[in-house]
A and B are shown apart, each in its own frame.
Chain A
Amino acid sequence: MGAPELLQFALAGLKNGSIYALVALGFTIVYASTGVINFAQGEFVMLGGMLSVWAYADLGLPLPLAGLVGVLATACVGIVFELLAIRPRKDGDPLALIIITVGGSMLLSSLARHAFGPTERALPRFSEGSIQILGASLERQSLWIMGIAAIAVGVLSLMYSRTRFGKAMRACAIDRNAARLVGIDPKWMVTVSFALAAALGGLAGLVTTPLTQTAFNVGPSFGVKGFAAAILGGLGNPFAAVVGGLVLGMLESLSVAFISSTYKDAISLVVLLLMLFVRPQGLLGRGKREKV
């Protein structure tokens, strides 16, 4: 295999990895504020795509505006979901909340089927055509994906370092009740984290729909990959989530290059299981002992 082909696979890995990173960030943010894995995170990706298609094709909005509507509407779904399904469970029992998100995942995908139909739907590419890099070709849409993901990560890290909310988020990663220390009500912390996670998922859905189309049932597969990325890097650490996403994208690409595309989807599952069994704290996480 020559250098251009390898580069081609690497670029594909980077593109997919950017999407996984966005989804993984969503897992990380909700995990930090609730201690819960949100099994409906993949549905936010699905909704981001579906709602953007709806705004574009059904409402006839111009593409940039339709995308904005799609992402914001997904964030609203995240907020509503938190307010209606997560917050009422006041004891915050993780087992209960996890099961609620499992039910939410099924409910959201099913409602999407009723709202938008059972068929696959697509958006036009943000820009047509492709560019050549050292003999490899890269679709302009992939550039959009990487660029938007990079901007999202940049904005998020600014928010983490500069705002009171960001400080509260970082404090929460250490101790869930620490938000109080910076004067933020943990209840609203959870709501905002769901909104952010949904927006990030929605963004991932928006940018990937022009390439891969979307349908009401794509959620779980995005969810699994995003979670695999989060756990690969180390759950609870946003930087690690991004690294995990990119590494997972690369691993998938390499497996397609050297093994077969048949097992592309199995890679993330295997990575997920291996990480859980061997190093649940992730590549970048430190070993921690349970405290009594």
Chain B
Amino acid sequence: MGSAKTQSGPRASLTGLPVRRYLGVVVVGALVAAMPLLITGSDSRYVLKILTFVGINTLIVTGLALLFGYAGQVSLGHAAFYGLGAYTSAYVTATLGWPFLAGVAASIAGTALGGVALALPSLRLKGHYLAMATLAFGEIMRIAFVEAAPITGGPDGFSGIPFASIGSFAFDTPARVYWLAWGATALALLISWNIVSGRPGRSMLALHGSELGALASGVDLVGLKVRVFTISAVFAGVAGSLYAHTVGFVSPSTFSLHLSVILVAMAVLGGTRSLAGPAAAAILLTLVSSPDVVLPALPRETLEVIQDWEADVYGLVIILVILFLPDGLSGAARRLSARVRGARSGPGDTA
């Protein structure tokens, strides 16, 4: 049985990935970690800053990979959790003067609460209703960010957010901020991998596959949906906290429906049953808006044209991927590797 699915997430046991995949993870991880040392030159600050945003987006999209790619649930409100995390952390550190880690903890608590509060009543809602409920939640939060001016600074935004710091160590250089963001993202990926490669991951795929079948297998769908939704909200919240401390300034216009849709585009392009796919898609699509990071020689006019058409690209990517690559980059990669393996072992290969 030359199944195309043999190397995907839940198939791998807890005890081990194939050595080849470990190697891949280590190489990519080392490359990401070494990036600040490899990037030199006059615009290295700018490049590192963009790459930090890439990491932050990857963190959010990892949460969406669990929610969408594994559990098959759509959220159009993740920008709101991102914002909730950012404002919470900003308030706790800048206004209350508490340390950075307290800000992160508050962001986690706040977005977890928000996630549960939205997920619980949404449970009996089927796909499109959940999508609409999350969209409405996102818009309400955006209004709240604007109207709660005494806390959030209103439409002018929240400024004067300190750099992240742990004890006396401040994340005050582009490289340090980069490492912090990608460290958090790596941790989220590790946690997610542990989750999807075992019982919870199978439950999520079962929910995606057939709700009736999952119920008949004793899967607690209520608990499952709340948990997945909450985890993905918390990932977005932590990303928001990192964003606030990276930029030092938070404005409500950042956390728009537009951003939520872009995040969905990343999750969709990344594909189902995969963490690496969505991470790659997050990196790819974030760099679409700053292609000069990869191509420093890009003329300014070209850059502006690309940025001008960014939203069209995102919209088009969503439609084209769903139509022609329904399981996204990860599905394409699975098919490709199955074909390569098939070619190597020959047609007579059976399980």
- Min distance, Cβ A160 to any Cβ of chain B, angstroms: 23
The answer for the CA separation of A227 and B76 in the assembled complex, in Å, is: 15
Across the interface, do B127 and A111 meet the contact criterion of CB distance under 8 Å?
no
A113: B residues at CB distance < 8 A: 311
Q: With A and B bound together, what is the CA distance between A73 and B95 in angstroms?
A: 52
Known pairs A104-B315, A292-B212; A37 contacts B128 (CB<8 A)? yes
**Nearest-Cβ distance from residue A218 to partner chain B, whole angstroms:** 12
Complex: chain B residue closest to A113, CB-CB = B311
B264: which of A88, A99, A263, A265 is its contact (CB, 8 Å)? A99
A140 located at the interface, meaning its Cβ lies under 8 Å from any Cβ of chain B in the complex: no
B94 to chain A minimum Cβ distance, whole angstroms, is 26
Interface: A89 (CB within 8 A): yes
Complex interface: stretch among B54-62, B133-141, B217-225, B241-249: B133-141
Q: Which residues of A contact B314 (CB under 8 A)?
A: 103, 106
Task: Give complex CA distance A224, B77 in Å.
Answer: 13
The answer to whether B143 and A266 touch across the interface, beta carbons within 8 angstroms, is yes
Asked whether, in the complex, the Cβ of A107 is within 8 Å of the Cβ of B316, the reply is yes
In the complex, the chain B residue whose C-beta lies closest to that of A95 is: B127
Asked whether B129 is an interface residue with its Cβ less than 8 Å from the other chain, the reply is: yes
Using an 8 Å CB-CB cutoff, how does the interface string of B130-163 with A read, 1 for contact, 0 for none?
0111011101100100010000000000000000
Task: Tell me if B304 is interfacial: C-beta within 8 Å of chain A.
Answer: no
Contact with A along B68-91 (1 / 0, CB 8 A): 000010101000000000000000
- Do residues B132 and A103 form an inter-chain contact, with CB atoms below 8 A? no
Tell me the B302-351 residues at the A interface (CB within 8 Å). 308-309, 311-312, 314-319, 322-323, 326
Asked if B323 and A88 sit within 8 Å, CB to CB, the answer is yes
Q: Which residues from chain A contact B147 at a C-beta distance below 8 Å?
A: 262-263
Q: How many residues belonging to A are interface residues under a CB distance threshold of 8 Å?
A: 41
B97 within 8 A of A: no
Residue B67 is within 8 A (CB to CB) of chain A in the complex: no
CB distance from B113 to the nearest CB of A (A): 16
Compute the total of residue contacts between A and B using a CB distance below 8 Å: 116
Interface contact B316-A224, CB-CB below 8 Å:
no
A113 to B310, CA, bound (A): 12
A174 vs chain B, min Cβ distance (A): 18
Any B CB within 8 A of the CB of A8: no
Q: Once the chains are docked, how many angstroms separate the CA of A50 from the CA of B287?
A: 31
Interface of chain A residues 272 through 290 with chain B (CB within 8 A) = 272-273, 276-277, 280
Pair B132/A114 contact, Cβ less than 8 Å:
no
B231: Cβ under 8 A from any A Cβ: no
- Chain A contacts for B322, CB-based, 8 A: 89, 96, 99-100, 103
Q: Quick one: CB contact mask for A206-221 with B, threshold 8 Å, 1 for yes?
A: 0000000000000010
List of A residues within 8 angstroms of B133 by Cβ = 272-273, 276-277
Q: Does A154 interact with chain B (Cβ within 8 Å)?
A: no
- Asked if B236 is at the interface (CB within 8 A of a chain A CB), the reply is no
Q: Mark out the residues of chain B between 266 and 321 whose CB falls within 8 Å of any chain A CB in the assembled complex.
A: 268, 308-309, 311-312, 314-319
Interface positions of A from 14 to 57, Cβ below 8 Å from B: 36-37, 39
Task: Evaluate contact between B122 and A276: CB separation under 8 angstroms.
Answer: yes
B258 within 8 A of A: yes
Q: Does B228 contact A (CB under 8 A)?
A: no
In Å, the complex CA distance between A109 and B311 comes to: 9
Inter-chain contact B139/A269, CB cutoff 8 Å: yes
Q: Mark A82-95, 1 if CB is under 8 A from B, else 0.
A: 00010011000011
Let me know if A68 is at the binding interface, CB within 8 A: no
Name the B residues within 8 Å of A110 (CB-CB).
Answer: 309, 311-312, 315
Interchain CB contact (< 8 A) of A224 among B135, B309, B311: B135
- Tell whether, in the assembled complex, residue B129 and residue A106 are in contact, meaning their CB atoms are under 8 Å apart: no
Judge if B102 is at the interface, Cβ distance under 8 Å.
no
Interface centre among A85, A99, A227, A292 (most CB of B within 10 A): A99
Q: Are A100 and B312 in contact (CB under 8 A)?
A: no
Q: How far is the CB of A243 from chain B (nearest CB, A)?
A: 19
In-complex Cβ contact of A269 among B124, B131, B136 (8 A): B136
Chain B residues contacting A269 (CB-CB under 8 Å) are: 136, 139-140, 143
CA distance A265 to B147 in the complex (A): 12
Task: Say yes or no: B74 contacts A104, CB within 8 Å.
Answer: no
Closest A residue to B257 by beta carbon equals: A220
A227 to B136, CA, bound (A): 10
Closest to B312 in A: A110
B125: which A residues are within 8 A, CB to CB? 276, 280
Q: Contact at B132–A37, with CB atoms within 8 Å? A: yes
The residue from A106, A231, A263 contacting B318, defined by CB atoms under 8 A apart: A106
Across the interface, name the chain A residue whose C-beta is closest to B125.
A276
Decide yes or no whether A237 CB sits under 8 A from chain B: no
Query: Judging by beta carbons under 8 Å apart, are B72 and A224 in contact?
Result: no
A-B contact pairs, 28 of them (CB 8 A): A36-B128, A39-B76, A85-B319, A94-B126, A95-B74, A98-B74, A98-B128, A99-B74, A99-B268, A102-B76, A103-B318, A103-B319, A104-B315, A106-B318, A107-B315, A107-B316, A107-B319, A111-B312, A114-B309, A114-B312, A220-B257, A224-B135, A231-B132, A263-B143, A263-B147, A276-B122, A277-B133, A280-B124
Extra 20 A-B pairs, beta carbons < 8 Å, given A110-B315, A273-B136: A37-B131, A94-B127, A95-B72, A98-B131, A99-B264, A99-B268, A100-B323, A103-B318, A106-B315, A106-B318, A107-B311, A110-B309, A220-B139, A228-B136, A265-B139, A269-B139, A270-B140, A273-B137, A276-B132, A277-B133
3 closest A-B pairs by CB: A103-B318, A107-B315, A106-B315
Chain A residues in the interface with B (C-beta under 8 A): 36-37, 39, 85, 88-89, 94-96, 98-100, 102-111, 113-114, 220, 224, 227-228, 231, 262-263, 265-266, 269-270, 272-273, 276-277, 280, 292
